[in-house]
Amino acid sequence: MKYLISGYYGEKNAGDEAILAGIVQEVERRDPDACFTVLSFDPADTERRHGLGRRLTAISTSLRSPGSIRAAMRGADLLISGGGSFLHEADFELHGRSFLFREGKLRPVPYFLSVVLMARARGLPVMWYAQGLGPLHTAAARRLVARAGSASQAVTWRDADSARLAYAVGVRAPVQLVVPDPVYALAPADPAEADEELSRCGIEPGSRFIAVCPRPWLGRSEYLESIGAALERVASESDLRVLLVPFHEVQDPPVCETVAARPGFAGRARVL
């Protein structure tokens, strides 16, 4: 089969890229002859990360010139939307209470669900794969989720709260399930490679450590003090090293460095 995958890919976020890797791996496990086209914000990066050794190409996900997306839909057997938690309006405090736009760009709910509705208008079956949902502050977002979800053949959520919210706003797809996040299906890294990466960060292989991914959150910084204090206490009381893991290649490293520099760690914190 030919699969078209829509999600938050090509934005230099390790979490979203891991989700895509998990989806592709699980589909290939059931369909060894699968061919993939990924809608990406950086097609070259997506092909570099995920295309080696498989039939996978990536195209721009821009809706300003949707011709390539429509062409990909004509050649696909199924649209997979997801996963992750991009169907939300959590950033209203930062970018205003507009349903459609933030900083001149379409918000995630109308952006990604327009791809779903475009597919259904062309008769292409749609599966939502381990999506997260909410918060949804506007009636327009709730109506759009209900319309796009109910028009899809299968809607799966990665947590029970998302499933409950979907039902509350009116999603009535033929198949609705709560499923594990696809990242949990990923094959583990080679132990030797993992040890080498830990050594590079100053953590001796075999030693005990706790890994944490602090992120900039809605323009707030005060929560980093709470995270840092809690990690200092855990590291001291449990004799653990602390590994700060930046998921987003641009946004997260400064936050990780800020936490790691706390004097209470006494050199026990490292950034991956």
Same domain, 50 and 147: yes
* Band (52; pLDDT cuts 50, 70, 90): confident
- Extended strands (E) in 24-120: 35-40, 56-60, 78-87, 101-102, 105-106
**How far, in Å, are 35, 132, 154, 167 from residue 72 at the CA level?**
12, 25, 20, 31
* Per-residue pLDDT reduced to its tens digit, 197-222: 999 888 888 889 999 999 887 667 78
For residues 162 and 164, what is the distance between their CA atoms, to the nearest angstrom? 5
> What is the number of domains present in the chain?
2
Better-predicted residue by pLDDT, 223 or 140: 140
Same domain, 97 and 229: no
Place of tokens 């992750």: 84
Same domain, 176 and 131: yes
Same domain, 122 and 236: no
* Band (26; pLDDT cuts 50, 70, 90): very high
Q: Which of 63-67, 126-130, 156-160, 187-191 has the lowest mean pLDDT?
A: 63-67
Q: What is the amino acid identity at position 253?
A: P
pTM comes to 0.89
Domain end position, chosen among 185, 217, 243 = 185
Same domain, 18 and 40: yes
**How far, in Å, are 9, 140, 195 from residue 46 at the CA level?**
7, 32, 26
Q: Give 128's strand partners.
A: 81, 155
Same domain, 180 and 197: no
Compute φ and ψ for 257, nearest 5 degrees. -65, -35
CB atoms inside a 10 Å sphere around CB 134 = 21
Same domain, 255 and 150: no
Same domain, 109 and 214: no
Same domain, 19 and 48: yes
| Structural domain of 54 | 2-185
What length is written for the chain? 272
pLDDT number for residue 248: 92
pLDDT number for residue 135: 93
Mean pLDDT, residues 261-271 taken together: 89
* Per-residue pLDDT reduced to its tens digit, 147-168: 999 999 999 999 999 999 999 9
